[in-house]
Amino acid sequence: MRKKVIAGNWKMFKTQAESEDFLKGFLPALEDTPSGREVILCVPFTDLNALSRNLHGSLVQLGAQNVHWETQGAYTGEISAEMLTEIGVRYVIIGHSERRQFFGETDETVNLRLKAAQKNGLTPILCVGETKQQRDAGETETLISMQLNKDLVDINQSNLIIAYEPIWAIGTGETCETKEANRVIGLMRSQLKNPDVPIQYGGSVKPSNIDEIMAQPEIDGVLVGGASLEADSFARIVNYQN
């Protein structure tokens, strides 16, 4: 059976003090979390150390939101895989639509970052997804298939998580219909060399829709933005009913 992976993406939210406060409410709520669920918090770089110190022995693993492909060098504003693994980071989000849209991330740089992450012992969470315009034009399948083709060149599919995040469903409150998300994720899986890669859904996941999302057979987890910022709501998502 494929593992279930529940990840929070804090984006550019929370100071260190706020992240420590979050943990005080969140960790006790995980005491009865069923086994077999991987819980990941992908947080701003400045929160990583504080969380790393406070997560020992808990179910929660640490993730970052970006990594550079070089080991070191004159790359102002970037971070290396070694800098992340040294402080206990195990996962990294790569190719999030916000990076593609606002920071010039391309399928080529996504591929370079994926390779560097894997080479240095990180598990990447690769994000793909279509815009509203592409969906309305009937281009969803082609676009996603093209993203996967380009992003996954020479990538080891046994150390990989993929997230299907329709861009029009991110932060909008408009969730992709669960059966439709299941269908697209099924198509994505059929294109992979390794069908056991966990594939998550992301986009307006909330306590009110998590049970229905996780009941879909192709969906192996969720990548959660806004609803991962509050301890209670993220705990409810992690503790989804099945």
Contacts with ligand 13P, residue ranges (CB under 6 A):
9, 96, 165, 170-171, 202-205, 223-227
The smaller minimum CB distance to ligand 13P, of residues 82 and 131, is found at 131
Query: Residue 224 is inside which H or E element, if any?
Result: strand 221-224
Dihedral (Cα; 201, 208, 183, 132), 10-degree rounding: -70
The smaller minimum CB distance to ligand 13P, of residues 61 and 204, is found at 204
What gap in Å lies between CA 125 and CA 64, rounded to an integer? 10
The smaller minimum CB distance to ligand 13P, of residues 101 and 191, is found at 101
CB of residue 89 vs ligand 13P: minimum separation in angstroms?
A: 17
Cβ neighbours for 203, distance < 8 A, ≥ 6 positions apart: 129, 165, 166, 167, 168, 169, 170, 172, 174, 175, 176
Positions marked catalytic: 96, 165
CB of residue 174 vs ligand 13P: minimum separation in angstroms?
A: 9
CB of residue 152 vs ligand 13P: minimum separation in angstroms?
A: 19
Please give the angle made by the CA atoms of 4, 65 and 155, to the nearest 5 degrees: 65
Q: Does 115 carry a binding-site annotation? A: no
What are the helix (H) ranges across 64-177?
81-86, 97-102, 107-119, 132-136, 140-151
CB of residue 71 vs ligand 13P: minimum separation in angstroms?
A: 27
What gap in Å lies between CA 35 and CA 238, rounded to an integer? 11
Q: Which residue is nearest to ligand 13P (CB)?
A: 225
Q: Does 8 carry a binding-site annotation? A: no
Q: Does 69 carry a binding-site annotation? A: no
What gap in Å lies between CA 192 and CA 63, rounded to an integer? 24
The smaller minimum CB distance to ligand 13P, of residues 82 and 206, is found at 206
Known binding residues are: 9-11, 171, 204, 225-226
Known binding residues for substrate are: 9-11, 171, 204, 225-226
